[in-house]
A and B are shown apart, each in its own frame.
Chain A
Amino acid sequence: MHVESTRLGTMEVRDDSVLTFADGLPGLPGDRWALIATGEDSPFFWLQSIDYADVAVPVTSPWLFFGDYEVRLSDDEAARLGLSDAGDAYIVCVVRAAEQLDEFTINLVSPLVINAGSRQGRQVINDAGGYSVRHPLFSEVELDAVPPARSAVPVTAAGG
């Protein structure tokens, strides 16, 4: 399907690439999203709203930056996502980008948990505590040491 993005141009997003967040992302409109690649060697993807061209957030896999990060979901949350196995989950966190690298922060309190098979996702509250919604992203690794992001769901190339 044809998707417009004020940041990334016009893209064709395959139907099987659509991620559905039935309860949306709190504070943001729409419930259909797609992961957009920012470049071959980037640890980041854009999560672009399919229905709102100007709505997109950067996301990344938290484990690229924090080797010890833990996500714990209640049985109810796992059931809501249809997850019978941790391996079925693809998890990313929302990043707040900034002019300077040392001002980048990541929300480790409420990761986006996606059922890789069904492409259904939810933004959940991590039952593992002690994290911040605004954790400095580069507090443990530098950009040059971060591997590129890998996705368990289809990713669309940015448009022109």
Chain B
Amino acid sequence: MLVITRKSGEQICLGDDVTITVLDVTGSTVRLGIEAPAEIPIYRGEIWLDVKAENRAAADASIKDLPSIKSRTKPGD
């Protein structure tokens, strides 16, 4: 991980297309402005980690037979 220290008003550039500006630092909260092309989605890190973890857990579940209504089979049957 590259570690950079910035002050309010300073920027970080990722290639030619992405610029992150430190807008404001209040206490332990940093407000960031992000300019990026529309094709690049921008998400809060913890949400994306949650999604990754949930996808992996869904794929790892060892259940092979999913419930259907007619037969009323349930996974434990």
Interface residues of A (CB under 8 A from B): 7, 23, 25-28, 38-44, 46, 55-58, 76-77, 79-80, 94-101, 107, 109-110, 123-125, 133-134, 143-144, 146, 148
CB distance from A58 to the nearest CB of B (A): 6
- In the bound complex, do residue A144 and residue B50 qualify as a contact, i.e. CB atoms below 8 Å apart? no
Instruction: Give the residues in chain A near B5, CB-CB below 8 Å.
Output: none
The residue that B54 contacts in the complex, of A58, A96, A144, with Cβ under 8 A, is A96
- In the bound complex, do residue A146 and residue B69 qualify as a contact, i.e. CB atoms below 8 Å apart? yes
Known A-B contacts A41-B68, A42-B68; A27 and B74 likewise in contact (beta carbons under 8 Å):
no
New A-B pairs, 4, CB < 8 Å, besides A28-B55, A56-B59, A123-B51: A27-B52, A57-B59, A97-B61, A107-B55
The residue that A99 contacts in the complex, of B57, B69, B72, B76, with Cβ under 8 A, is B76
A69 to B57, CA, bound (A): 23
Name the residue on B nearest A103 (C-beta).
B75
Name the residue on B nearest A124 (C-beta).
B41
A118 to B77, CA, bound (A): 39
CB distance from B43 to the nearest CB of A (A): 6
The residue that B38 contacts in the complex, of A23, A79, A109, A133, with Cβ under 8 A, is A79
* Count of A-B residue pairs with CB < 8 Å: 110
- In the bound complex, do residue A41 and residue B75 qualify as a contact, i.e. CB atoms below 8 Å apart? no
**Interface size on B (CB < 8 Å)?**
30
Asked if B26 is an interface residue, CB under 8 A from chain A, the answer is no
- In the bound complex, do residue B64 and residue A7 qualify as a contact, i.e. CB atoms below 8 Å apart? yes
Asked if B67 is an interface residue, CB under 8 A from chain A, the answer is yes
- In the bound complex, do residue A26 and residue B69 qualify as a contact, i.e. CB atoms below 8 Å apart? no
A98 to B62, CA, bound (A): 8
- In the bound complex, do residue B59 and residue A38 qualify as a contact, i.e. CB atoms below 8 Å apart? no
B28-77 contacts to A, CB under 8 A, are 38-39, 41, 43, 47-48, 50-59, 61, 63-72, 74-76
